[in-house]
Amino acid sequence: MPFGFGKSKSKLVAAEEALPGRAAPPFAIPERHAVLGTPIRGPFPAGQETAILALGCFWGAERLFWDLPGVSTTAVGYAGGHTPHPTYEEVCSGRTGHAEAVLVAFDPNLTSYEALLKIFFEAHDPTQGMRQGNDVGTQYRSAIYPTTGQQMAIATATRDAYDAALRNSGKGAVTTEIAPAGPFYYAEEYHQQYLHKVPNGYCGLEGTGVSCPIPPRQAAATAATNGATTMTTTDTGGAAAADPKLLPVASHDREWKERLSPEAYKVLRQAGTERPFSGEYVDTDEDGLYRCGACGNPLFASDTKFHSGSGWPSFTEAIDPDAVELHEDRSLFMTRTEVRCARCHSHLGHVFDDGPRDRGGQRFCMNSCALDLDKDAATVGAR
Ligand SMILES: [Zn+2]
């Protein structure tokens, strides 16, 4: 990654001296996360929170977060400065005021803001001011841009706790900037999930070796306060212990590639569509439980399956509304509603409103190779 020395890049540019930017991004922003397959832009599913964190070069920083349970997507971009919709070159000039930042969308029931901050503080050296190791300049400064008042309180308390811990270890003071989140400008496609695309690419991140204590929340806590990942008993993660047919969710795309057949990989992980009338479950009437072909998550009961004539297995409803997640899909010049597995976020198919009227009117149009019929499961009624 290019970096430069010099005083001008180590001093934050004033708003009136910043580059003017532009009204819209001058480049296309990819729709989906290259590893997780999820949309990288909001609006994110209800109940999700977003965190915006800057800890040096965003290539390595982003990778820290996309494997975590409860994280639905990550993206890299520019935040905390003045120039609207900057380019990478403009940010590198030091004349935008932006920091290279990572956006993390997460489910606070599955992970906590504290857990993200613990990773944040321990993965870099937040005492360095306008640099991070060899990367020198204001764009590499350490910063937290809270998106809620609660995040602001947690960020401030955690920074103070880590500052004390570092001083106790003979290190310097924390220079991490904390400011309410402004706009997050997505970076060029080339930078998104960079270390997935370039596995041996540059990653200059290095922590201090000092563990980050997590102070308890002041207000009534809604999620874990000890920095560890927690799972509630009602979520899909909690069911993992009870259901032996749940498979681990792969953390890297190459794992999915190894585990899945080429056809299933193309549908599940690359949002492909199998040819109509080609799949093994199109005409199946057998009883059982249709699970996610990637992770084993229970998705559809056989008694909600019907013959739609479309050439794809069709269901009137999911076994539980929380088993699947719905996303707007604007590909192929249409607006459709995409259906993904809520547990591993793999693509399953689409849902349309031309299903049987007497049964709710929905048609979950699935790909056979995205499903796995579990005939051993006792006949499962939908709810
Ligand atoms: Zn799944």
Which three-class secondary structure state does DSSP give residue 347? strand
Structural domain spans, the chain? 7-197, 253-374
For 252-369, where are the alpha helices, taking DSSP H only?
Answer: 253-259, 262-268
Alpha carbon of 285 to ligand 1 centroid (Å) = 22
State the DSSP code for 15: G
Pick the closest to residue 27 from 81, 64, 77, 72 (CA basis).
Answer: 77
pLDDT of residue 330: 78
Q: What is the separation of C-alpha 328 from the centre of its chain, rounded to a whole number of angstroms?
A: 16
Alpha carbon of 293 to ligand 1 centroid (Å) = 7
Alpha carbon of 298 to ligand 1 centroid (Å) = 8
pLDDT of residue 218: 59
What string of pLDDT tens digits covers the 383 residues of the chain? 444 444 567 899 999 999 999 999 999 999 999 999 999 999 998 889 999 999 999 999 999 999 888 999 999 999 999 999 999 999 999 999 999 999 999 999 889 999 999 999 999 999 999 999 888 999 999 999 999 999 999 999 999 999 999 998 899 999 999 999 999 999 999 999 999 988 878 777 888 888 888 888 754 333 333 333 333 333 333 333 467 888 887 777 888 888 999 999 999 998 999 999 999 999 999 999 999 999 999 999 999 999 999 999 999 999 998 899 888 887 777 888 999 998 888 999 999 999 999 999 999 999 999 999 999 875 444 34
What do you get for the CA distance between the two ends of the chain, in Å? Answer: 53
pLDDT of residue 217: 72
Which CATH code for domain 253-374?
2.170.150.20
Alpha carbon of 276 to ligand 1 centroid (Å) = 22
Sheet with 305-306, strands from edge to edge, namely: 305-306, 314-315, 363-366, 347-352, 336-341, 324-329
CATH 1.10.1040.10 is the classification of domain 7-197 = no
Identified catalytic residue from 57, 212, 295, 365: 57
Alpha carbon of 248 to ligand 1 centroid (Å) = 9
Alpha carbon of 175 to ligand 1 centroid (Å) = 41
Q: Which residues of 161-193 are buried (b: 16+ CB within 10 A; e: fewer)?
A: bbbebbeeeebeebbbbbeebeebbbbbeebbb
Alpha carbon of 58 to ligand 1 centroid (Å) = 28
Give every CB contact of residue 155 below 8 A, 6+ residues apart in sequence. Answer: 113, 117, 144, 146, 178
Alpha carbon of 109 to ligand 1 centroid (Å) = 18
Alpha carbon of 1 to ligand 1 centroid (Å) = 36
Alpha carbon of 68 to ligand 1 centroid (Å) = 16
Is position 92 annotated as part of the catalytic site? no
Pairing relationship of beta strands 177-178 and 142-144 according to DSSP bridges: parallel
